[in-house]
Structure 1
Amino acid sequence: MHTCGNCGEFVSRDFVRVFGNEMDEVVGCPACMNMREVMQGDGAAEPTGRVRWTRA
């Protein structure tokens, strides 16, 4: 089971394949980023340690 490295939310295998990095990891998903950020590649970027606000 794949989870977001930022918020821990479940992400599908297909989501990881499309938006993840070459290590099959994602650090952002629609639960903690908007889809524009995810589609621009921010979901596959390395964690920067900066605090990201999550949706309640």
Structure 2
Amino acid sequence: MYTCNNCDGFVTRDFVRVFGDSDDEVFGCPSCMNMREVMDGAAASRSNAVSE
């Protein structure tokens, strides 16, 4: 099962494939970022993770 490394929310394998980094990790998802941020690549960058 894949999860967001920022909020521990569930993400699909396809979401990780499309929006994740080369290590199959995501640092943001629709639960903790808006989709514009995700689509602009913020989900693949550890430095862009939103702290809660």
TM-score, structure 1 as length reference: 0.84
Aligned ranges for residues 39-54 of structure 1 at < 5 Å?
Answer: 39-47=39-47, 51-52=51-52
Report runs of 4+ in structure 1 exceeding 6 Å deviation.
Answer: none
Answer with 30-39 or 42-51: which moved more: 42-51
Q: CA deviation at 1:49?
A: 7.2
Bigger Rg, which one: 1
Aligned ranges for residues 1-56 of structure 1 at < 5 Å?
Answer: 1-47=1-47, 51-52=51-52
Q: As a proportion of its length, which structure holds more helix?
A: 2
Task: Output the CA distance in 2 between the equivalents of 1:39 and 1:30.
Answer: 10
Distance 1:49 1:28, change over 3 A: closer
What residue ranges of structure 1 are gaps of 5+ in the alignment? none
SS in 2 for 1:43: helix
TM-score, structure 2 as length reference: 0.90
Number of paired residues?
Answer: 52
Task: Output the CA distance in 2 between the equivalents of 1:33 and 1:2.
Answer: 17
- How much is the aligned-residue C-alpha RMSD, in angstroms? 1.7
Identical residues among aligned pairs (%):
60
